Structure 1
Amino acid sequence: MEIRKYNSDDIKQFTDLMPDLGYPSSLDEMKVRMERIESNPNYYTFVAINNNNLVGMIGITIHTTYTNNDEKIQITLLVTKKEYRGQGIAKALIKYVEEWSLKRGSDFIYLLSGKSERRVKAHELYKFLGYEVTGYRFVKRLGKMNTI
Structure 2
Amino acid sequence: MIIRKAIEDDFAELAVLMGELGYPTSDEQMEKRFKEIHNDLNYHTIVVEEDGILLGMIGMFKGLAYEKDERYVRIISLVVREEFRNQKIGKLLVDHAQLWAKEQGVLKLAVNTGKRRVDSHHFYKARGFDDTGAGFYKIIT
Question: Could you state the TM-score of these two structures normalised by the residue count of structure 2?
Answer: 0.94
Runs of 5+ consecutive residues of structure 1 not aligned to the other structure: 144-148
Pick the aligned partner of 2:125 from 113, 122, 127: 127
Give the alignment of 1:14-93 within 5 angstroms: 14-93=14-93
CA deviation vs aligned residue, 1:1-33 (integer Å, no higher than 9, x gap): 221100011111111222110011111111111
Partners in 2 of 1:140 and 1:52 — Cα distance?
Answer: 38
Partners in 2 of 1:99 and 1:39 — Cα distance?
Answer: 21
* SS of 1:76 mapped into structure 2: strand
Paired residues of 2:61 and 2:75 also in contact (CA < 8 A): yes
Partner of 1:146: none
Letter of the structure 2 residue corresponding to residue 32 of structure 1: K
More off after superposition, 129-138 vs 63-72: 63-72
The CA deviation at 1:134 is: 0.4
Partners in 2 of 1:48 and 1:98 — Cα distance?
Answer: 15
Partners in 2 of 1:113 and 1:129 — Cα distance?
Answer: 14
Paired residues of 2:20 and 2:81 also in contact (CA < 8 A): yes
More off after superposition, 79-88 vs 64-73: 64-73
Partner of 1:104: 104
Looking at CA atoms only, which structure, 1 or 2, has the larger radius of gyration?
A: 1
The CA deviation at 1:135 is: 1.1
- How many residues are aligned here? 141
Partners in 2 of 1:70 and 1:45 — Cα distance?
Answer: 22
The CA deviation at 1:34 is: 0.7
Runs of 5+ consecutive residues of structure 2 not aligned to the other structure: none
Identity of aligned residues (%): 35
The CA deviation at 1:114 is: 0.6
Question: Could you state the TM-score of these two structures normalised by the residue count of structure 1?
Answer: 0.90
